[in-house]
């Protein structure tokens, strides 16, 4: 996703600790998801969710009032002189009630609220496999991914995001990180942020946590964007120095497509995609000989399929080149992004605001109708006292297998 400011990142608190605490048991909310084929339809599976390790209570072993590090500065030097000592000195506790942190589930739906029991929660969650010990590894090259979403309570400045990250299935679980995926460890993305822990181990070298990132959905009720971000390294990678910058190993900006740039009446309350009501988002990833060719977006609402704005212009390497996504192309383009998608990526969902940039990159200027200050969290609180997003009916499988609906010819002619 677009770069968090340090102020926003601070809301995520600390990254995961290694030793497991006993103060609270980890209880993962269940979430039904579906895998689909054309021949057999969609088959439900009993998956679950885990909050990012940063949300868990983290403290030093012998003093629960002391933290083990801060965002952007690596682990505490006294508690973490080396990786092994760090694992002994730092403790991560389980979360028994996810509702306290703004996350609730019912069947195949998850509601994420910006505020939790103790104020701003800004939760980020990952999809666990049925065993709840590893992340569900989703392979999307040549496939499609579909979900329903309700963005009606996301005003200007908010972002309800659904995306893929090339994390490890076990979340870096090891002798120094016994919690692993079950405690939400091992996060990485194309922004390469420095956190106290890298893949669940004390980040003594203060490296950035980099990996391929596929932003399928970043949106509020007036703007949305799809944007793959590719890296030149496979899997999670600890960057240093120039590697972590815009000219380094990962594409920070991504190759983005936002319908507002071509049709200002397309995506909004009462629009062609009416964001005052729930709708279905379909994203297809056609491939040739195993190589990703493009990204195709469709919507379904009221039983009708709505083709993407500027649907005749494919989002492929030519599109990315023409629209100035130079880093995306430099680091591998669609072929590189498809490589990560073929290896398998982890589904992440989040709700957040941008205290530094007010989310202008998503919904202001050429990107959306919001003015420069509407995304200020102080303004958001006045407009919507309880920002939230609901993701449901999450399905993936063969292209054409995850959704149905009639083509809306009226909109096709516009």
Name the residues annotated as catalytic: 213, 218
Q: How much helix, strand and coil, in percent to the nearest 5, is found in the chain?
A: 15, 35, 45
Phi and psi torsions of 260, nearest 5°: -60, -30
Distance CA 150, CA 221 (A): 9
Token pair for residue 405?
A: 């609906």
Q: Which residues contact 78 (CB under 8 A, 6 or more apart)?
A: none
Token pair for residue 26?
A: 């980890």
Residue 230 · residue 18 · CB < 8 Å: no
Cα end-to-end distance, the chain, whole Å: 31
Distance CA 152, CA 92 (A): 35
Residue 197 · residue 220 · CB < 8 Å: no
Phi-psi sector, 241: left (phi>0), alpha (psi -120 to 50), beta: left
CA proximity to 295, closest of 191, 164, 189: 164
Token pair for residue 378?
A: 């102080």
CA proximity to 140, closest of 2, 330, 280, 337: 337
Distance CA 403, CA 139 (A): 18
Token pair for residue 203?
A: 């980040």
Cβ burial of 119 (10 Å; 0-12, 13-18, 19+) is exposed
Distance CA 229, CA 401 (A): 26
Distance CA 368, CA 156 (A): 9
- Secondary structure (3-state) at 256: coil
């Amino acid at each position: 996703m677009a770069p968090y400011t340090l102020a926003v990142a601070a809301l995520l608190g600390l990254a995961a600790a290694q030793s497991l605490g006993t103060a609270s048991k980890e209880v993962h909310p269940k979430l039904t998801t579906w895998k689909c084929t054309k021949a057999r339809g969609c088959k439900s599976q009993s998956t679950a969710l885990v909050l990012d390790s940063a949300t868990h209570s983290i403290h030093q072993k012998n003093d629960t009032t002391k933290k083990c590090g801060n965002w952007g500065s690596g682990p505490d030097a006294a508690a973490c002189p080396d990786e092994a000592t760090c694992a002994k000195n730092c403790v991560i506790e389980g979360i028994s009630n996810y509702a306290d942190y703004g996350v609730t589930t019912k069947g195949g739906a998850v509601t994420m609220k910006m505020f939790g029991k103790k104020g701003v929660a800004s939760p980020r969650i990952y999809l666990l496999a049925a065993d709840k010990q590893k992340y569900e590894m989703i392979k999307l090259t040549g496939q499609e991914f579909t979900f329903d979403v309700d963005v009606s309570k996301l005003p200007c400045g908010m972002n309800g995001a659904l995306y893929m990250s090339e994390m490890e299935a076990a979340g870096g679980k090891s002798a120094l990180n016994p919690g692993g995926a079950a405690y939400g460890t091992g996060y990485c993305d194309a922004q390469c942020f420095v956190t106290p822990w890298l893949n669940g181990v004390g980040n003594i070298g203060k490296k950035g946590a980099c990996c391929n990132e596929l932003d399928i959905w970043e949106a509020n009720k007036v703007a949305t964007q799809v944007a793959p971000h590719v890296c030149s390294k496979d899997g999670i990678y600890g960057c240093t120095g120039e590697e972590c910058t815009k000219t380094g190993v990962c594409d920070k900006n991504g190759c983005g497509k936002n319908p507002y740039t071509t049709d200002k009446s397309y995506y909004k309350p009462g629009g062609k995609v009416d964001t005052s009501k729930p709708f279905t988002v379909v994203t297809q990833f056609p491939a040739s000989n195993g190589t990703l060719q493009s990204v195709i977006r469709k919507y379904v609402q009221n039983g009708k399929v709505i083709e993407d704005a500027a649907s005749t212009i494919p989002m492929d390497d030519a599109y990315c080149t023409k629209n100035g996504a130079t880093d995306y192309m430099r680091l591998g383009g669609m072929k590189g992004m498809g490589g990560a998608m073929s290896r398998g990526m982890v589904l992440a969902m989040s709700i957040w605001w941008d205290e530094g940039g007010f989310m202008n990159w998503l919904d202001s200027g050429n990107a959306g109708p919001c003015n420069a200050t509407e995304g200020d969290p102080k303004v958001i609180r006045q407009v919507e006292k309880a920002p939230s997003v609901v993701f449901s009916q999450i399905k993936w499988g063969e292209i054409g297998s995850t959704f149905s609906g009639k083509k809306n010819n009226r909109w096709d002619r516009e």
